[in-house]
Amino acid sequence: MGIIRRALDLALVAWRAFNRPAGHLSLGFLTIGGFVAGVLWWGGFNTALEMTNKEAFCIGCHEMKDNPYADLKQTIHYSNRSGVRATCPDCHVPHKWTDKIARKMQASKEVWGKIFGTVDTPEKFEAKRKELASHEWARLKANNSLECRNCHSADSMDITRQGARGAEAHQRFLFTGQATCIDCHKGIAHRLPDMTGVPIWTMPQQAAAPH
């Protein structure tokens, strides 16, 4: 008997058992038991999901701890006068459930990167910095800087308390919808990559030219 044949037989037996009405268990046990099992499963799933949504989880890998997290620690989003701070998922994982699941599925590629050591040295990370940053800029541009706006609301922004130049820029570009946060505020939580060719930023031609 071939192995395929045997597997087919096994599948058939399983399907028959699955398809047959319960012989010994009551309907009440099955419905309530199913409900309880569902609650346990869903609770477990969400707990596991939230576990992966913590900074401690992110910097569990040295790739994240030594590169982006080290960057973050020098910025105002880590240390400031009021002690409010942003953790990795605050900016990098959407808060809405469906978007969050979509992002988590995308993150399976990061598991791939971890296994194959795509950015496992500072040099490799530097080489990829522009590409990685570009992904995040594109994401924030596409969702109108949603993760910024989870904390920073244009409505609650009192521009009279801002510097003159910032107030003017926010009035001209942000309030009119002409630009979104990430258009101007790149590199506010991590070191910037080589900004050649990025709008608003320039590089001197001497430094950009290959030597």
Partner 1 sequence: MKHLRTALILSLLAPLPILGVPVAQRALATDPAPAQVAAAPSASVRDVKASGRPAFTGAEGLTVQEAPPIPKDATDDRRRQRNYPEQPPVIPHQIVGYQLDLRANKCLTCHAREFTGDSQAPMISVTHFQDRDGQVLGAVSARRYFCLQCHVPQTDVQPRVPNSFRDVDSVIREKDAAAKGGQ
Binding site for partner 1 (CB under 8 A): 75-76, 163-165, 187-188, 191-195, 200-207
| Shortest Å, Cβ 168 to partner 1 | 9
Which is closer to partner 1, CB of 23 or CB of 177? 177
| Shortest Å, Cβ 94 to partner 1 | 26
Which is closer to partner 1, CB of 27 or CB of 164? 164
Which is closer to partner 1, CB of 83 or CB of 204? 204
Which is closer to partner 1, CB of 146 or CB of 188? 188
Greatest alpha-carbon pair distance for the chain in Å reads 83
| Shortest Å, Cβ 193 to partner 1 | 6
Distance between start and end Cα atoms, the chain: 69
| Shortest Å, Cβ 208 to partner 1 | 9
| Shortest Å, Cβ 142 to partner 1 | 23
Which is closer to partner 1, CB of 159 or CB of 192? 192
C-alpha to C-alpha distance for 52 and 105, rounded to whole angstroms? 12
Instruction: Indicate the angle between helix axes 108-116 and 97-106, nearest 10 degrees.
Output: 30
Which is closer to partner 1, CB of 117 or CB of 187? 187
| Shortest Å, Cβ 190 to partner 1 | 10
C-alpha to C-alpha distance for 116 and 112, rounded to whole angstroms? 6
